[in-house]
Structure 1
Amino acid sequence: MMKIIEGAVFLGAVMLYLAPSIIADAREREDAFAVTMVNILLGWTVIGWFAALVWARHPISDRRMKHFAKRAQRAVTRVTIDAIVARAESRASSIPMFNPRLVPIVARIAANSNRREKL
């Protein structure tokens, strides 16, 4: 009988600990996984548990989420473009045509070949 009571108390404690996650899931929040992660990782601190609870119960506006999504998308785009440009710049020095010191030489060779084709 004692094991049943201990099991019920343990189950109750786990359900109380995960209450913010259960509330976020019941309210069908899009960020329920994030609430759950905060609850699991920081819930052992009383502040983390209350923060997850407030977050789970806080109403979410579509306008704020759309604005956040656009900012995140722009940030990802900016980082991706910067990475592509950096990679292109690092490769440009190894390609003779894009090497700034060799551009005049390549231009002269191209100009000479154009003159020969016209003749």
Structure 2
Amino acid sequence: MLKLIEGAMVLGALMLYLVPAMIADAREREDAFAVTMVNILLGWTVIGWFAALVWARHPVSDRRLKHFARRAQRAVARVTIDAIVARAESRGSAIPTFNPRLVPMVARIAASSMRRQRD
């Protein structure tokens, strides 16, 4: 009988611990997984549990989500462009050292593209 009571207490404590995740799922929030992760990883601190609870109960505004998505897209684009530029710069400086025969060819291509732009 004691094992049954003990099991019920553990199950009750687990359900109480996961209340913010259940609320986020019941409200069909798009970020329910993030709320659940905060709840699981930081819920053992009382502040983390209350933060997850407030986050789960807070209404979602479409404007804030769109703004967040736009900022995230811009950040990803900025990182991608920086990586492309860095790779191009590293390749550009490596061309003369790896294959010196390509330098005149690259110069001719650049000169012909400059002539086309002027015309």
Structure 2 CA distance for aligned equivalents of residues 84 and 106 of structure 1: 22
1:94 aligned residue: 94
**C-alpha deviation, 1:52, in angstroms:** 0.2
After TM superposition, the structure 1 = structure 2 runs for residues 1-119 of structure 1, keeping only pairs within 5 Å, are 1-96=1-96, 106-107=107-108
TM-score by length of 1: 0.81
Structure 2 CA distance for aligned equivalents of residues 30 and 106 of structure 1: 53
Structure 1 CA distance for aligned equivalents of residues 107 and 22 of structure 2: 67
The one-letter amino acid of 1:30's match is: E
Identity among equivalent pairs (%): 80
The one-letter amino acid of 1:82's match is: D
Ranges in structure 2 where 5+ consecutive residues have no aligned partner:
113-119
2:116 aligned residue: none
Q: Which runs of structure 1 show a deviation greater than 2 angstroms over 4 or more consecutive aligned residues?
A: none
**C-alpha deviation, 1:2, in angstroms:** 1.1
The one-letter amino acid of 2:59's match is: P
**C-alpha deviation, 1:94, in angstroms:** 1.9
Structure 1 CA distance for aligned equivalents of residues 69 and 9 of structure 2: 41
**Structure 2 vs 1, CA of residues 71 and 106 (structure 1 numbering), >3 Å: closer, same or farther?**
closer
Structure 1 CA distance for aligned equivalents of residues 2 and 41 of structure 2: 31
Structure 2 CA distance for aligned equivalents of residues 10 and 76 of structure 1: 43
Deviations 1:3-58 (A, max 9, x none): 11111110000000010001000100000010011001110010000000000000
Structure 2 CA distance for aligned equivalents of residues 36 and 106 of structure 1: 57
Larger Rg over CA atoms? 1
